[in-house]
Chains A and B, each alone.
Chain A
Amino acid sequence: MTPLLALYRVLSRNLLSRGRLTLIGMLGVLSILVAFAINRGNDGDPGLDAGVTFVWFLGLGLVVPIISLVLASSSFGDLVEDETLVYLWHRPSPRWMLAVAAWASSTTVAIPATVIPLSVAGYIASGFDLKVFGASALAITVATAAYSSLFVFLGLLVRRALIWGLMYLFIWELFVARVGNGAATLSIITYPSSILASIADVELAQADRSVLTGILVPLIVSAIAMALTTWRLDNVDVA
């Protein structure tokens, strides 16, 4: 087993607590139930807009960032909390490897936990439109990867990363970023929303970037977050 794989394995197993799995399962089930309610509320003909708006508002706006936050901030947050980070940190393997393993472990748990229920929910809410399903799957994947990288860094940067992360989400991503175009450029939600809007061909607020931009910018954000995490690992004091 390579060091990267070994790190990925132990970090993934560490993430899968009963509490987190319950929260993820509940959010997934809730999303599908709400989607059914939307579907039935529109007499089985809710249309494309309802499905896309549902994925945009509930999925990209709440479920994706919250699941990403819970998982990714715990990648290092748990290790800092229970003081086990030192066992990984003190070994001679490169620090970037630790950062990438933390991101990969939280992302590979978060992506199925978000993409499957939310894409299915979007499909249901839109009256079983496959275009919504595909657009949702791509947008949610990109959003989960980008948010996870950001919250892995946050988990290493501050104690109580969950609270700081929620403040960031509700103040910046869900409020400020929806007010003006300038702020939207600096928020993650703009880019997966643009992917969703472009592919489904629906208009959403502050979601007017191309699909390519919608994929590239979150990838760049992820790379920068990984670089910052590596830098932080180089400079952090480990108990």
Chain B
Amino acid sequence: MTDLSIPQSSNGIAPVTASAPPAPAAWPPADATVVAYDVSKSFKGVVAVSNVSIAITPGVTGLLGPNGAGKSTLLRMLSGQIKPSSGSVWVAGGDPRSDAEARGRIGLVPQQDGVFEGEKAIDIVSLAATLSGLDQPTERAAHALGLVEMDPGLERPVGTFSKGMRQRVKIAQALVHDPIVLMMDEPLNGLDPKQRRQMIELFHGLGDAGKTVLVSSHVLDEVERFGSLVIVIAKGRLAAQGDFRAIRGLMDNQPLRVRIQCTAGRQLGAALVASGSVMGCRVDSDSLIEVTTNDIRQLRRELAPFARHYGGRLEEVIPLDDDLESVFRYLVGDR
């Protein structure tokens, strides 16, 4: 896993990182294509993003947070759309706000629905290609539309398109110039399940090809399917970044629930409680228990010997809080 750890931010909240904080020289990573250092943004005195430092390397990274957490503001600062109130942004070789070449290496899918309503899809994507200085913009546009499974020959104006079709036009215009960095704000909104699957495959393909793909979403299932790398924003602050499973592993102070299926479940549960490796145990049936532990390592050590001791056979051990939703709930639940 790529280490995305960052220096401690100055806002007093220690972001959870997927590994121990590196020496300052290790940050940002040499292959980082998107770096924000201590960026903040206020709107009329209201802080939207506060002292966020992140570095993003090639691959797919999910930008996660509840509605209003500051994801879009952060993404807009990273893409150069808005100027940070403080801090600095570096993307693909420069500051995208002032450096046109750096901006030309970014593909952007903004959150808003609006596209040029009266234009055809091919014309919108072709315009993007022309403005990026590409030769044969129409051919490039047709190729980009093909990537999102849209017919370049559609004669209808985009204003008559469904939300899903518009969304794919927006993705196509972001892809047309083969950008190094792709930033997408809620790109799967409006897509049906099949289209979502296709787009996620496309994003994975781009990530595998060495592109940096940053996808913002508030839908946990979506982000989980993008991959394991996440940046979690809560109340404008960086709550965590890195591999969400590793993040979960570092959250020692958060109890973990584990479901255990064992032929001697009841005795096993009692023994684990007695040993202190679990805080609580719920017996669902003679062979199925759910325990809550603060010390997963001790539980792992004791589980098999205890089961053997009571003549039971362990059939299934499932951590219930190892998914992104649990990580997210822990990270943002009390903020």
Query: Interface of A with B (CB < 8 Å)?
Result: 1-3, 6-7, 10, 13-14, 82-84, 86-94, 234-235, 237-239
B114: which of A1, A82, A93 is its contact (CB, 8 Å)?
A82
B110 within 8 A of A: yes
**Residues on B with beta carbons closer than 8 Å to the beta carbon of A84:** 114-116
Binds A, one of B54-62, B126-134, B144-152, B221-229: B126-134
| Complex interface: chain A residues within 8 A of B173 (CB) | 87
How far apart are the CA atoms of A41 and B147 in the complex, in Å?
68
Are B119 and A87 in contact, with the CB atoms below 8 A? no
Q: Is the CB of A83 within 8 A of B104?
A: no
Cβ contact within 8 Å between B127 and A10: yes
Whether a CB of chain A sits under 8 angstroms from the CB of B209 is no
Would you call B110 and A239 a contact (CB within 8 A)?
A: yes
Specify which of A3, A83, A90, A239 is in contact with B103 (CB 8 Å cutoff). A90
List the B side residues contacting A90 at CB < 8 Å.
79-81, 103, 106, 108
Assuming the A-B contacts A10-B119, A84-B116, A238-B81, are A93 and B131 also in contact, with contact meaning beta carbons closer than 8 angstroms in the complex? yes
| Closest chain B CB from A89 CB (angstroms) | 8
Q: Which of B76, B81, B124, B133 contacts A92 (CB 8 A)?
A: B133
Q: Which of B81, B115, B131 contacts A239 (CB 8 A)?
A: B81
Question: Which residue of A6, A86, A238 is within 8 Å of B130 (Cβ)?
Answer: A6
Pick from A2, A14, A235: contact of B116, CB under 8 Å: A14
Cβ contacts A to B, 5 pairs, < 8 Å: A87-B110, A87-B173, A91-B131, A93-B131, A239-B112
Which residues from B are CB-within-8-Å of A91?
103-104, 128, 131-132
Q: How far is the CB of A169 from chain B (nearest CB, A)?
A: 29
- Given contacts A87-B110, A90-B81, A92-B101, 8 further A-B pairs with CB under 8 A are A10-B119, A13-B119, A84-B115, A88-B131, A90-B79, A90-B80, A92-B131, A235-B83
A-B contact count (CB 8 A): 75
Residues of B within 8 A of A6 (CB): 127, 130-131
Chain A residues whose C-beta falls within 8 Å of the C-beta of B132 in the assembled complex: 91-93
Q: Is A87 a contact of B116 with CB atoms below 8 Å?
A: yes
Closest to A17 in B: B118
In angstroms, Cα B123 to Cα A88, docked, is 13
Question: How distant is A80 from chain B, measured CB to nearest CB, in Å?
Answer: 11
Cα distance A82–B100 in the bound complex, in angstroms: 24
A149→B67 CA distance, assembly (Å): 40
- Residue of A with least CB distance to B130: A6
A216 to chain B, nearest CB (A): 33
Count chain B residues whose beta carbon lies closer than 8 angstroms to a beta carbon of A: 31
A238 partner residues in chain B, CB cutoff 8 A: 76, 81-82
Q: Determine how close the nearest CB of chain A comes to the CB of B222; give it in whole angstroms.
A: 23
B137 within 8 A of A: yes
Partner of B131, one of A3, A83, A235: A3
Q: Which residue of B lies closest to A1 (CB)?
A: B130
Instruction: Report the separation of the CA atoms of residues A94 and B101 in the bound assembly, to the nearest whole angstrom.
Output: 10
Return chain B residues, CB-CB under 8 Å to A239: 76, 81, 110, 112
Q: How far is the CB of A41 from chain B (nearest CB, A)?
A: 43
Which 4 pairs between the two chains have the least Cβ-Cβ distance?
A92-B104, A91-B131, A92-B100, A82-B114
**Known contacts A7-B131, A91-B131, A93-B131, A237 near B114 by CB under 8 Å:** no
How many angstroms between the C-alpha atoms of A235 and B98 in the bound complex?
9
Q: How far is the CA of A14 from the CA of B117 in the complex (A)?
A: 9
Docked complex Cα distance between A86 and B108 (Å): 9
The minimal Cβ–Cβ distance linking B282 to chain A, given in whole angstroms, is 49
The chain B residue with its CB closest to the CB of A98 is B131
Complex: how many Å from CA A181 to CA B83? 42
The listed residue (A1, A87, A89, A237) touching B115 by CB distance below 8 A is: A87
Tell whether, in the assembled complex, residue B104 and residue A14 are in contact, meaning their CB atoms are under 8 Å apart.
no
Report yes or no: B133 in contact with A93, Cβ–Cβ below 8 A.
Answer: yes
Give bound CA distance, A94 to B82, whole Å: 18
Bound: A79/B290 CA distance, A:
56
Q: How far is the CB of B96 from chain A (nearest CB, A)?
A: 8
- Distance of A119 Cα from B108 Cα, bound (Å): 47
Give the complex CA separation of A86 and B128 in angstroms: 11
Which B residues are CB-close (under 8 A) to A92? 100-101, 103-104, 131-133
B81 touches A237 (CB 8 A): yes
**What is the CA–CA distance of A92 and B128 in the complex, to the nearest angstrom?**
10
- Among the listed B114, B118, B133, B137, which residue makes an inter-chain contact with A13, where contact means beta carbons less than 8 Å apart? B118
Considering the complex, give the chain B residue whose CB is closest to the CB of A95: B100
Most buried by A among B81, B103, B132, B133: B81
Q: Which residues of B contact A235 (CB under 8 A)?
A: 83
Q: Which residues of A contact B133 (CB under 8 A)?
A: 3, 92-93
Q: Quick one: which of B68-109 are within 8 Å of A by CB?
A: 76, 79-83, 98, 100-101, 103-104, 106, 108
Query: How many Å from the CB of A102 to the closest CB on chain B?
Result: 14
> Would you give the shortest CB distance from B142 to chain A, in whole angstroms?
16
